[in-house]
């Protein structure tokens, strides 16, 4: 029996769990352990590993004692390295002594998670599409940042196509939105606004401050249930989902990420779907109406997907 330690590194929280595989479907054999990704004592990837070893439960192994390790990381993977845009340290696997360790982008892991039977069975349908053809699936999710991935199915199986669409420029429309853009640019000192900032916890707090003058956390914004803030944020979420689906001609969209999992009203609201189906040309309305929209409700989808990826990769060796 081969054991895989799956690690899902988020901008806010990192999760760990141990998996085995049966017919390349991951089976979790431990409870999920988590801690803050940017805890005060963590300033490097090596310190991150040391923090895990110092705080892990007895049911989870040290990095050196497990058959394989797979990291789902919130940034672009280049060879053995990943520069993490929303974390204060980076990852270079050549700097660690483990040779049984691999990594993939965190939303690539979420895409593979969408092929895990136990995960798929708990998806919540937000909108039924008008086609049964599901050969291209997108998974998009907002949290600390905004992740994207496309999963393409053919006769040989599924292939995940990684994406960094979160760092594409965000399109603001109308006078109010243009004023919001200038407010965000002045506050953050960025040359232009990107999806990853606007549709994320940071974007929600800045949007609320722009509309109300109140500088509060994202969770506090949800607690206030400010209708204008939440409606505009839902519209922005629908916009980035629509754009990515049109770019990749998607048949099925899975919305994931911490914000939608904890606050599904963001993507079940009329504002989200109105914007998702809004297109500059009526020629593309049928393509959008064909898309089935689902909501993932499992925060551990990245762990399961990382373990699934590991089983596929090592199965090829």
Outline where DSSP puts E strands in 25-87.
Answer: 25-28, 33-36, 68-73, 77-78, 81-82
Would you identify the CATH topology of the domain 4-115+300-316? Answer: Nucleotidyltransferase; domain 5 (3.30.420)
d(CA 212, CA 197): 19
Q: Does 86 have pLDDT greater than 90? A: no
- Give the per-residue pLDDT at 126: 96
Residue 37 has pLDDT above 80, yes or no: yes
pLDDT score, position 316 = 53
Q: Can you give the pLDDT at residue 153?
A: 87
Query: Tell me, what's the pLDDT at 40?
Result: 80
Select the more confidently predicted residue: 176 or 131: 176
Task: Please give the pLDDT value at position 317.
Answer: 45
Q: What is the pLDDT of residues 243-262, one digit of tens each?
A: 999 999 999 999 999 999 99
Q: Where are the domains of the chain?
A: 4-115+300-316, 125-295
The answer for residues whose C-beta is within 8 angstroms of residue 293's C-beta and 6 or more apart is 125, 126, 127, 129, 252, 253, 255, 267, 273, 276
Residues 6+ apart with CB under 8 A from 193: 169, 170, 172, 181, 184, 185
Q: What is the pLDDT of residue 24?
A: 77
Cβ neighbours for 155, distance < 8 A, ≥ 6 positions apart: none
Q: Tell me what percent of the residues of the chain surpass a pLDDT of 70.
A: 99
pLDDT digits 0-9 by tens, 180-200? 999 999 999 999 999 999 999
pLDDT at site 156? 73
**CATH architecture assigned to 125-295:** 3-Layer(aba) Sandwich (3.40)
Please give the Cα distance from 304 to 176 (Å, whole number). 41
The H helix count followed by the E strand count for the chain is 13, 15
């Amino acid at each position: 029996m081969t054991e895989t330690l799956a690690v899902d590194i988020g901008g806010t929280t990192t999760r760990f769990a141990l998996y085995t595989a049966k017919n390349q479907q991951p089976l979790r054999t431990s409870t999920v352990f988590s801690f803050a990704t940017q805890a005060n004592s963590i300033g490097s990837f090596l310190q991150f590993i040391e923090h895990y070893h110092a705080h892990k439960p007895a049911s989870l192994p040290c990095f050196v004692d497990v058959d394989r390790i797979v990291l789902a990381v919130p940034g672009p993977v280049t060879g053995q390295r990943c520069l993490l845009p929303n974390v204060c340290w980076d990852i270079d696997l050549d700097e660690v002594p483990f040779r049984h360790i691999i990594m993939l982008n965190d939303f690539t892991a979420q895409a593979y998670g969408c092929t895990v039977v136990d995960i798929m069975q708990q998806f919540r349908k937000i909108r039924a599409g008008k086609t049964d053809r599901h050969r291209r699936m997108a998974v998009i999710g907002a949290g600390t940042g905004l992740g994207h991935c496309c999963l393409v199915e053919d006769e040989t199986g599924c292939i995940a196509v990684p994406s960094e669409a979160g760092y594409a420029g965000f399109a603001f429309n109308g006078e109010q939105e243009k004023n919001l853009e200038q407010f965000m640019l002045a506050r953050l000192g960025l040359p232009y606004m990107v999806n990853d900032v606007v549709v994320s916890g940071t974007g929600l707090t800045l949007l609320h401050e722009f509309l109300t003058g109140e500088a509060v956390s994202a969770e506090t914004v949800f607690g206030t249930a400010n209708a204008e803030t939440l409606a505009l944020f839902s519209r922005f979420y629908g916009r980035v989902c629509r754009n990515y689906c049109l770019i990749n001609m998607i048949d099925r969209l899975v919305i994931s990420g911490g914000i939608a999992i904890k606050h599904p009203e963001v993507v079940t609201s009329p504002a989200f779907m109105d914007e998702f189906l809004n297109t500059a040309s009526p020629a593309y309305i049928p393509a959008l109406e064909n898309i089935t929209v689902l909501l993932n409700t499992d925060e551990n989808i990245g762990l399961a997907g990382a373990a699934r990826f590991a089983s596929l990769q090592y199965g090829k060796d």
